[in-house]
Structure 1
């Protein structure tokens, strides 16, 4: 008797695979974000964020995110006749994502908004990052350059309405012909990364025009993000020293500026975004601010991009978490769903705590930007910007690795819905490196502690006032705050700067969780992070933690 065989296309049945997470509202299902937003901005209209959450969770937009990363930007330095064109071609999905981000006002629109506009924009930025992070590079830079551009009043007056417009127009034409524009920046050169004073690009004054003092720039930029933006703020050496300049891609008369795109960077992640190396071959640029004051002028922009680094990593954390929760809720191992295994519950609850703490610190920082005229908030902006950028971004890579482990091998592949986890993992290191890596942030914190406002109040006093409302709630918190304030008062050596940044971040996160999270979240955070025996690996929450409550609060449905 001959053995029978199944047809070759029916060797097995596909079972025990989790369904992709799609078609859900990223805002309405994010309770930690909604609670934090309600605390900082009570009575806000959440209709715009609900609409954005619906857009970002849609299957169609998720497909755009995948395609924009699979089909990376292409550089066309010359046309087929040999003429220099210096253009970058993007997949249509990139433009669909950019259009959605601009339509929802994640770029410069907050500067034209009313009270709470920056808080709403921060929440929206986190939500959109869950969908796709790399297209937000030009969006973030457009947000950051807008206030810095005030250093050139004629340019600001002409460009501000277009920078805040919700119309996306990718055409390479004069700005006067466009309803909306985007901007980028160029600081880094080969010989100096964070040390921008080592820049060698030269600026030679030519004449005074309706846009102010015009110069010719000769030199290069080693990292020049989003080269298809309409204009850039760049640093160059003028006779009085390092100065800030406004450099448009297309000149007012329609001629292309002498900006040569040498090549696009082949990066670990951030694939949908075009990062480039460029040369200025006598490019025309207009002075912003005063000659020799380029670093202070452009630092204002750097502060805002650092805010976005914290926001972006927080959004990536949330997406990695919900992907892990979605998988663990469906996948079975040894007869039970992964979510039902005690050790997996500890890991997922620990990840949920980290994600909510990142939301708490990020939105607290965003509130400081929303209250520009408040003296206390100005000091908190100064201290929390490097702290949030340092700690949240440092935690991001470890977080994404742990979340990927929850999916096992399925999380490591680049295809399908679970391929998003691999994309997140590759994206995570970027925000930690961009706009100043860990040491730069820790050193900036030490500088911040020396700052005083017009009334003589210093950052240390402002930080003490910020932490005081939660004192008496938990012994570990009280010990950390007392130790922290003593160390700051005694003075901190440079070698201790990273430890200080970590402890400030943990203290502020705990203080915020005390005020707008359930008690079981605050207690578990303090017991694990401030208890003195924190192993820094996820999945080590104390047995007394409310695993059910923490996980339920984080679920995306």
Structure 2
């Protein structure tokens, strides 16, 4: 076993290799990747973690202070829709995309016979968001747009798909998704943008306004609009690709755009107007603004009136991306806290020697372990489903049982909105407390925790608020009967737990599992208002029981391999999230944060024999 990490060797959570320091992410990827995938990916993830910890982290701080600027008009008053980016952002873009963050999961990378699972894209996004959660947004939408075209395009948009999944920056297109309208918001069916087919031009033309458009100048934007005589609501929406450049002049790439020292010639632009950029709290790296379509050229994706279904497929990946981004920001906040606590002296000791700080760091670390385990288990299911669908579409390089798709879909359909719901809130809480650990410096823009909190605050909002996601959980339970695969998954994990050190925690989770099943059955007989009133509590309850069972199963496997650390993590999660402790635990004599600090926070090895009975207070 390796020794624990000495965080006093570092001055801050930068100029380090984020992959090498994140043994939690390493463990989860080793679990969810195929053996050959992990062998191929590990050195590349190490290179990527080093890139993010040095170049991207430094550039991200500069970009936060000198973000993109919009120049809607040129000196003659003509629309030019130019977003001016700092050179540091362009450097980050080139380095990250050419590392294969999107490409590797869609196109076969060098040294492999098939594309990587989408879990690999999510892992790289996780690492990227250690440095810049804002930049994570356009990367996520590029992957989401690629997924939509892969699934639904009939071949007419092949040039745009090739650009979205390009490994060469000069050939790259970034993606975006303009959903929100001022009157619509989460009510997508209220969208008013219309689409008319222009026979003379041989293309569709969109008219309307989009209100919250992140990555506003993406080369390939997806937008929903209603065609003539289409029904009201979501059933009447169609999906369109709206290029930044005039599609009649060909696919506009990053390389062509950067050949021009200033704005593109007007004839090369598509007809639309970027009205203004939003003055946001955080995520400065991604320009978010308002867009007016006025006869804007657009290309239909797949069939008419299938836009909401297509959007839902993209939204699954976007929500999972949001959760991976949340984990990445939590990971950076935790790292900054560990380093500061190991170096900051007060009253004669570094502050990580004091019991209250030890408890705080232990619980922050356990939260991070729980969030990462849940997200990458959900990513595993998502990847299985996507690989099975690729096989069904005739990709002979993909060898997956086609029956996996349906089995994985029902469970992931439930787990994905919960992943986004819970981790977005956890990221806000974790970054807020990381700021407190830094003291007054944490509140100052010169220190990264200031930005981490600002960036984290949007994560509960993007891709659906907590209320919207809770209602989506109810839809998954009703439409997909998702309680069935959920019950099977939890029971299977609990059945695997046999080690004496886990016995007490497993009994608590088993009892809560029974109560969860009772709650699900009870809600089935209630009226809609009460069911909706309970939806948020139910979503969090599912997260806690499922994650506890998942951590216990992993802890069992680690104990069998001679490593007891994860048993401490799992039991602490059960204690804090599920155990009803008398007198708020004060009379319990629980000293785990003190006795297990090195194991949980510093990843120090633990012999299984040392934890065969729960840690108790000294006599």
- Tell me the CA shift for residue 20 of structure 1: 2.7
Partner of 2:454: 426
Q: Answer whether contact 2:246 2:271 (CA < 8 A) is retained.
A: no
- Tell me the CA shift for residue 489 of structure 1: 2.8
1:402-436 CA distance string (max 9 Å, x none): 11111111111111xxx111000001121110110
Q: Answer whether contact 1:108 1:142 (CA < 8 A) is retained.
A: no
Q: Answer whether contact 2:411 2:482 (CA < 8 A) is retained.
A: yes
Alignment of structure 1 residues 480-491 onto 2, 5 Å: 480-491=512-523
1:270-294 CA distance string (max 9 Å, x none): 1111001010011011222332232
User: What TM-score does the superposition give when structure 1 sets the normalisation length?
Assistant: 0.88
1:82-107 CA distance string (max 9 Å, x none): 32201100101111111122112223
Structure 2 regions of 5+ residues with no counterpart? 1-7, 109-113, 231-235, 250-267, 389-403, 498-502, 525-530, 556-565, 606-619
Q: Answer whether contact 1:31 1:554 (CA < 8 A) is retained.
A: no
Q: 1:494 to 1:541 in 2, by over 3 A?
A: farther
- Tell me the CA shift for residue 192 of structure 1: 1.2
Q: Answer whether contact 1:527 1:542 (CA < 8 A) is retained.
A: no
Aligned counterparts of 2:288 and 2:91: Cα–Cα separation in 1: 19
Q: Answer whether contact 2:105 2:115 (CA < 8 A) is retained.
A: no
Aligned counterparts of 1:80 and 1:91: Cα–Cα separation in 2: 21
Deviates more, 1:349-358 or 1:18-27: 18-27
Aligned counterparts of 1:215 and 1:235: Cα–Cα separation in 2: 12
Partner of 1:455: none
- Tell me the CA shift for residue 207 of structure 1: 2.9
Alignment of structure 1 residues 84-233 onto 2, 5 Å: 84-113=79-108, 114=114, 116-149=116-149, 150-169=151-170, 179-207=171-199, 214-233=203-222
**Residue 237 in 1 paired to residue 222 in 2?**
no
**Residue 532 in 1 paired to residue 580 in 2?**
yes
Q: Answer whether contact 1:32 1:553 (CA < 8 A) is retained.
A: no
Partner of 1:6: none
- Tell me the CA shift for residue 42 of structure 1: 4.5
User: What TM-score does the superposition give when structure 2 sets the normalisation length?
Assistant: 0.80
1:365-394 CA distance string (max 9 Å, x none): 111121023132212220111010111112
Structure 1 regions of 5+ residues with no counterpart? 1-15, 170-178, 453-457
Q: Answer whether contact 1:202 1:238 (CA < 8 A) is retained.
A: yes
Aligned counterparts of 2:302 and 2:131: Cα–Cα separation in 1: 37
Q: Report the secondary structure of 1:426's partner residue.
A: helix
- Tell me the CA shift for residue 208 of structure 1: 8.9
Aligned residues: 517
Aligned counterparts of 1:535 and 1:40: Cα–Cα separation in 2: 40
Alignment of structure 1 residues 72-471 onto 2, 5 Å: 72-113=67-108, 114=114, 116-149=116-149, 150-169=151-170, 179-207=171-199, 214-239=203-228, 240=230, 241-254=236-249, 255-372=268-385, 373=388, 374=404, 375-415=406-446, 419-452=447-480, 458-471=481-494
Aligned counterparts of 1:79 and 1:115: Cα–Cα separation in 2: 43
Aligned counterparts of 2:301 and 2:79: Cα–Cα separation in 1: 28
Aligned counterparts of 1:220 and 1:92: Cα–Cα separation in 2: 30
Q: Answer whether contact 2:107 2:115 (CA < 8 A) is retained.
A: no
**Residue 49 in 1 paired to residue 38 in 2?**
no
- Tell me the CA shift for residue 330 of structure 1: 0.3
Aligned counterparts of 1:339 and 1:376: Cα–Cα separation in 2: 46
Deviates more, 1:434-443 or 1:237-246: 237-246
Alignment of structure 1 residues 20-39 onto 2, 5 Å: 20-39=12-31
Deviates more, 1:423-432 or 1:103-112: 103-112
Q: Report the secondary structure of 1:134's partner residue.
A: helix
Cα RMSD for the two superposed structures: 2.4
Aligned counterparts of 2:435 and 2:203: Cα–Cα separation in 1: 51
1:123-170 CA distance string (max 9 Å, x none): 11101100111112111001011121243323342222221111223x
- Tell me the CA shift for residue 34 of structure 1: 0.8
- Tell me the CA shift for residue 315 of structure 1: 0.5
Q: 1:554 to 1:94 in 2, by over 3 A?
A: farther
Q: Answer whether contact 2:160 2:220 (CA < 8 A) is retained.
A: no
Q: Report the secondary structure of 2:20's partner residue.
A: coil
1:284-336 CA distance string (max 9 Å, x none): 11222332232112111111110111000010001000000000000011111
- Tell me the CA shift for residue 515 of structure 1: 3.0
Q: 1:136 to 1:252 in 2, by over 3 A?
A: same
Deviates more, 1:140-149 or 1:99-108: 99-108
Q: 1:188 to 1:363 in 2, by over 3 A?
A: same
- Tell me the CA shift for residue 52 of structure 1: 0.5
- Tell me the CA shift for residue 541 of structure 1: 11
Q: 1:235 to 1:508 in 2, by over 3 A?
A: same
Q: 1:468 to 1:527 in 2, by over 3 A?
A: same
Structure 1 residue ranges (4+ consecutive) displaced by more than 4 angstroms after TM superposition:
533-536
Aligned counterparts of 1:406 and 1:357: Cα–Cα separation in 2: 21
For 2:550, which of 512, 515, 536 is the aligned residue? 512
Q: Answer whether contact 1:115 1:370 (CA < 8 A) is retained.
A: no
- Tell me the CA shift for residue 342 of structure 1: 0.7
